[in-house]
Amino acid sequence: MDDLHAPFRPRLARLVAWAVAVALLVFMIGIAVLLPAAVPTGTVALGDRIGIAAVGVLAAWFLSRQATVRAVPEADGLVVRNLLVTRKVAWAEIVSVRFGQGRPWVQLDLADGDTLAVMGIQSSDGPRGTVEASRLATLVALHSATDQDD
C-alpha cells in the first residue's frame, strides 16, 4: 500500500484516549477492590463493587472507540469508522472534502445532500490534520476522475 492510500488516524486524540482509558479502568477497578467493607453510611455490597467496576469498563470501552476512529481508503470507496458508526462511502458519492474554519474534523459532502464526519482527521493534530485533509481530497479527486473533461 502506498502512502497516499494509507489509513487516516488521529494522533493526539488516540494517544490521550488510550491513556485516559487505561488510567480510568485501573482507578475504577482499584476503587472496587480496595473499598472498605464498611463505610460511615453503611456497608458496601458485592453489587456495588461490580457496579463501580462496570462503570470503569464502560467508560474505557467508550474511550477505546474514540482511540480507534479511522478512515480507510479502498479501491471502491472510503470506510469511515467514527465513534459509534462505521460507514462505507463510494468514491463517486463524495462531492467535496471540507476542513478548517473551526471544524474539529474533516467533513465530507455527499451526492445525496448528506454530510459525513471523518473523525480520523482532526484539527487537534495541527498542521498534520491539514496535510491529511489534503491527502483525502487528492484521493477523492483521483478516484472520481472521469475520461471526459466535465
Structural domain contains residue 4? no
pLDDT of residue 112: 94
Q: Is there a single domain that holds both residue 49 and residue 75?
A: no
Q: Is there a single domain that holds both residue 73 and residue 133?
A: yes
Say if strands 86-90 and 105-110 run parallel, antiparallel, or are unpaired: unpaired
Please answer whether residues 28 and 53 qualify as being in contact, where contact means their C-beta atoms are separated by less than 8 angstroms: yes
Q: Output the nine-digit C-alpha cell for 35.
A: 473499598
Note the pTM of the prediction, 2 decimals: 0.81
pLDDT of residue 2: 74
Altogether, the residues listed in the chain come to a count of 150
3-class secondary structure per residue, the chain: CCHHHCCECCCHHHHHHHHHHHHHHHHHHHHHHHCCCEECCEECCHHHHHHHHHHHHHHHHHHHHHHCCEEEEECCEEEEECCCCEEEEEHHHEEEEECCCCCCEEEEEECCCCEEEEEEEEHHHCHHHHHHHHHHHHHHHHHCCCCCCC
Please answer whether residues 116 and 87 qualify as being in contact, where contact means their C-beta atoms are separated by less than 8 angstroms: yes
Q: Is there a single domain that holds both residue 94 and residue 134?
A: yes
Structural domain contains residue 7? no
Structural domain boundaries, residue 25: 12-67
Q: Is there a single domain that holds both residue 28 and residue 62?
A: yes
Q: Is there a single domain that holds both residue 78 and residue 56?
A: no
Spell out the per-residue pLDDT of the chain, length 150, in tens: 578 899 999 999 999 999 999 999 999 999 998 887 766 776 778 888 899 999 999 999 999 999 999 999 999 999 999 999 999 999 999 999 999 888 999 999 999 999 999 999 999 999 999 999 999 999 999 988 765 555
pLDDT of residue 34: 87
Please answer whether residues 78 and 91 qualify as being in contact, where contact means their C-beta atoms are separated by less than 8 angstroms: yes
Structural domain contains residue 21? yes
Q: Is there a single domain that holds both residue 49 and residue 88?
A: no
Structural domain count, the chain: 2
Please answer whether residues 32 and 57 qualify as being in contact, where contact means their C-beta atoms are separated by less than 8 angstroms: no
